[in-house]
Amino acid sequence: MDTIEHPSRPADAIPLPAERLLAAMAGFPGPQILDVRRDAAFAASTTSLPGALRRDPDAIGSWIATLEPQRPVVAVCVGGHAVSQAVASALARSGLAATYLAGGIAGWESLGFPLSSKPGPAPVFVTRERPKIDRIACPWFIRRFIAADARFVYAPAPEVARIAEEIGGTAFDIPGAPYTHVGEGCSFDAFVERHRPDDQALRILADIVRGADTEKPALHAAATGLLALSLGLSALAGEGDALALRHGMVMYDALYLWARDCQAEQHRWPPRMVRA
C-alpha cells in the first residue's frame, strides 16, 4: 500500500501525483478525498473521484472538524491549481496531513483512472443516544462501506423513529427499524448481511460485535476486549455521542484490519534478540 506523507512545512501546498493517490485509495481506510471545485464547475460535471466528499472551498471552518485527523486528506479541483492548493495549505496549517491532486480531476481523467458519480447530499441515519457497541459499529460500517459522508443523529429512544421520518433519515438499532436486531443477530449483522455478506473479515468482526453487544463473549475471544474498550470509551466521552463515534472509528478500523490481515501475527516474550 502506498502512503501519503505529512508536508514537511505545513504552510506549503504539496502536490500528490495521481498514481500515488490511486495506490493509496487501494488501502484501508484510504485517504479522505475532498472535491473542492467551485460551485459552477461542480454543477457542470456529473463525475468525481470514487469516494470523494463534497466540500465548499470557501467555508473550511464550517467543515474541518468533520475530518478524521488520523487520515490523510487530498483536495481535488478541476486542474489542481489555486482552489485545491489553497484548501490543502489551510488544512496543513491546521495540522492535518493534507495534499492536493496534481493535475486535478482533468488530469486524473486523462490518465484513464476511475471516476464515479459526483457526491450528492449526505444521507442521515438516526439511532439511540449514548452509543457503546452496536451504535458505534454500525456508523463505522456505513461510513466505510456505504456512504463516506453519512451523518448521524443520536436521539432519545422514543424519538428515533419520529425524527428519522421528519428529516428523511434512516433509523437503526430500534425495534422495527430497517436495520435492527433479528433473531440472534444485532444491527451490525443486519448491515453486513445486506451490504457486504462476502467480506470474511467483516464476518469475523460481526461475531466480535455480537458477542460484546448481546452478552455472549463465547462467540469470539475478542468480544470481551471490545466490550471493555467500548464501555471505557463511553465513560470518556460522557454525553458526547459524536466524540465517542469519532474515536470509535479508529477502534473499528483497527479491528477490521486485524481481522483481515493480522490474525497470524504473534506477540511473544521474551523478544527475539538475534536477527533471523
Q: Convert the pLDDT of each residue in 218-243 to its tens digit.
A: 999 999 999 999 999 999 999 899 99
The sign of the dihedral angle between the CA atoms of 153, 154, 159, 160 is positive
Which amino acid makes up residue 176?
Answer: G
Q: Are residues 43 and 155 in the same domain?
A: no
Q: Are residues 237 and 147 in the same domain?
A: yes
Q: Are residues 53 and 170 in the same domain?
A: no
Report the domain count for the chain.
Answer: 2
Residue 35's domain comprises 15-117
Q: Are 6 and 88 in contact (CB under 8 A)?
A: no
Residue among 67, 111, 109, 117 nearest 87 (CA): 67
Q: Give pLDDT tens digits for 131-182.
A: 999 999 999 999 999 999 999 999 999 999 999 999 999 999 999 999 999 9
Q: Are 16 and 99 in contact (CB under 8 A)?
A: yes
Q: What is the mean pLDDT of residues 6-11?
A: 43
Q: Are residues 85 and 157 in the same domain?
A: no
* Residue that terminates a domain, selected from 93, 117, 141: 117
Q: CA 9: distance to chain centroid?
A: 27
* Residue that terminates a domain, selected from 117, 140, 167: 117
Indicate whether 4 belongs to any domain: no
Indicate whether 111 belongs to any domain: yes
Q: Are residues 91 and 27 in the same domain?
A: yes
Indicate whether 1 belongs to any domain: no
Q: Are residues 109 and 191 in the same domain?
A: no
User: What is the rounded CA–CA span in Å between residue 259 and residue 264?
Assistant: 10
Q: What is the mean pLDDT of residues 96-106?
A: 97
What per-residue confidence (pLDDT) applies to 239? Answer: 86
* Residue that terminates a domain, selected from 71, 86, 117: 117
Q: CA 228: distance to chain centroid?
A: 22
Q: Are residues 102 and 131 in the same domain?
A: no
Q: Are residues 170 and 257 in the same domain?
A: yes
Q: Are residues 129 and 112 in the same domain?
A: no
Indicate whether 72 belongs to any domain: yes
Q: Are residues 150 and 206 in the same domain?
A: yes
| Percent of the chain residues topping a pLDDT of 70 | 96
Indicate whether 7 belongs to any domain: no
Query: pTM of the entire structure?
Result: 0.91
Q: Are residues 48 and 99 in the same domain?
A: yes
Q: Supply the CATH number for residue 31's domain.
A: 3.40.250.10
User: What is the rounded CA–CA span in Å between residue 257 and residue 146?
Assistant: 18
User: What is the rounded CA–CA span in Å between residue 169 and residue 86?
Assistant: 34
Q: Give pLDDT tens digits for 60-79.
A: 999 999 999 999 999 999 99
User: What is the rounded CA–CA span in Å between residue 13 and residue 89?
Assistant: 5
User: What is the rounded CA–CA span in Å between residue 235 and residue 64?
Assistant: 26
Average pLDDT value over all residues in the chain: 94
